[in-house]
Amino acid sequence: MQIILEADEAWSVMTLVVAQLLDGVELSDGGRAAVRKWRSDRADGTAKMIGLAETMNESLGNLVDEQTKKLIRRKGRYVSTAEGR
């Protein structure tokens, strides 16, 4: 399985997560301001947002790789990576 988010899709996910954070977590006024500034620094199409999208894709890829069972050859037989550890 391969998951790749385009920059605008990553921006949508980021804005949803930040909205949930601002609505659901008790933060100080300074904390809220810092989160809003962080979000505004990553506006759609900015270099910081493109970098965040790349980081999100890398993290998603790593998670999928860790969760995926793979078969490897060991001494003439195949075992799953879970058994090979």
For 32-57, what is each residue's pLDDT tens digit? Answer: 999 999 999 999 999 999 999 999 99
What's the pTM? 0.74
Decide: residue 73, CB within 10 A, 0-12 exposed, 13-18 middle, 19+ buried.
exposed
Residue 22 lies in a domain: yes
Q: Are 42 and 49 within 8 A, CB to CB?
A: yes
Number of domains in the chain: 1
pLDDT at 84: 46
| Other CB atoms within 10 Å distance of the CB of residue 50 | 15
Structure tokens at 36: 């809003």
Whether 1 maps to a domain, the answer reads no
52 located within any domain: yes
Mean pLDDT of the region 5-19 = 96
Res. 85: pLDDT tops 60: no
Average pLDDT along the chain: 88
Lowest mean pLDDT among 6-15, 22-31, 61-70, 73-82: 73-82
Give 73's strand partners.
78
Boundaries of domain holding 11: 7-80
Phi-psi region of 74 (alpha: psi -120 to 50; beta: other; left: phi over 0): beta
With respect to residue 64, please indicate whether it lies within any of the assigned structural domains.
Answer: yes
